[in-house]
Amino acid sequence: EIVLTQSPGTLSLSPGERATLSCRASQSVSSSYLAWYQQKPGQAPRLLIYGASNRATGVPDRFSGSGSGTDFTLTISRLEPEDFAVYYCHHYGSSPGSFGQGTKLEI
Amino acid sequence: QPQLRESGPGLVKPSETLSLTCTVSGSVSTSNYYWGWIRQPPGKGLEWIGSIYYSGSTYYNPSLKSRVTISVDTSKDQFSLKLTSVTAADTAVYYCARLGGVYGSANSWGQGTPVTVSS
């Protein structure tokens, strides 16, 4: 099973700043099967990025994904107040798939 | 995007069976999408439980495979989860979701239903 490790565990930034979240896989994965989700308290996760770099429907263009092999990045170019949440990466290319432990983005 | 809604008991006794249903607004009989269950224990991360295609093909997390059954009812646009022999470790918020592939990506989610395993 592929293990995804996200860093940092918590990221403290201010609105307007740039956020860079990392996801490292224990072995090389296909970028076609790497996703990012945003989860706010009491809500279901929301798909942001799939295939490592493709924005899901309705996702603002300040969110971007990149990476390949074992290292992937989610970048939020200019933080808005509503962006403060927990972010998960997800590999879904093979059974059973795996999620990272999450990065909490706090003000 | 379809709307998904989970339903089922919020409290299950240890050793009994957890049963949940997901009702989809729209049709489950759509090609290119799978329907799945994902859970999140309190204060923890996400775990894929399993997926089903409208044809009935199923895929399960190996760690849960011996206890999980997922089924689909295309006439009602519903799919269901049964998890047997539950323990406290199965306490979690259970989400149903539409998946772009067998193991993800989940592009539509239900609101989630909390299930507690306790006597």
Q: Does position A96 have pLDDT exceeding 90, yes or no? A: no
Q: Which residue among A50, A88, A95 places its CB closest to the CB of B62?
A: A95
E-strand ranges in chain B read 3-7, 11-12, 18-25, 34-40, 47-52, 58-60, 68-73, 78-83, 92-101, 104-109, 113-117
Give the pLDDT score at A102: 97
- Predicted confidence (pLDDT) per residue in A8-17, tens digit: 999 999 999 9
- Residue B111: its chain A contacts at CB < 8 A? 43-44
Q: Does position B102 have pLDDT exceeding 90, yes or no? A: no
Closest A-chain CA to B109: A44
Q: Does position B1 have pLDDT exceeding 90, yes or no? A: no
Cα–Cα distance for residue pair A83/A107, rounded to 1 Å: 10
**Chain-centroid distance, C-alpha A93:** 16
Q: Does position A95 have pLDDT exceeding 90, yes or no? A: no
Q: Does position B104 have pLDDT exceeding 90, yes or no? A: no
- Predicted confidence (pLDDT) per residue in A19-64, tens digit: 999 999 999 998 889 999 999 999 999 999 999 999 999 999 999 9
User: In angstroms, what CA-CA distances link B79 with A86, B50, B70, B97, B115?
Assistant: 28, 12, 7, 10, 18
- Residue B62: its chain A contacts at CB < 8 A? 95-96
A44 at the B interface (CB within 8 A)? yes
- Residue B47: its chain A contacts at CB < 8 A? 99
Q: Does the beta-carbon distance from A92 to B104 stay under 8 Å?
A: yes
Using CA of residue B68, residue B69, residue B72, residue B77, what is the dihedral sign?
negative
Q: Which residue among A35, A100, A102 places its CB closest to the CB of B105?
A: A35
With residue A70 as reference, give the H or E element that holds it. Answer: strand A63-76
Q: Does position B117 have pLDDT exceeding 90, yes or no? A: yes
Give the pLDDT score at A32: 87
Give the pLDDT score at B76: 96
More confident: A37 or B105: A37
Token pair in block for residue A53: 């770099």
B2 C-beta neighbours (distance < 10 Å), count: 15
A66 band by pLDDT with thresholds 50, 70 and 90: very high
User: In angstroms, what CA-CA distances link B12 with A8, A37, B16, B88, B119?
Assistant: 36, 29, 7, 10, 8
Q: CA of A90, closest CA in chain B: separation in Å?
A: 8
Q: Does the beta-carbon distance from A96 to B1 stay under 8 Å?
A: no
Q: Does the beta-carbon distance from B46 to A88 stay under 8 Å?
A: yes
Give the pLDDT score at A42: 94
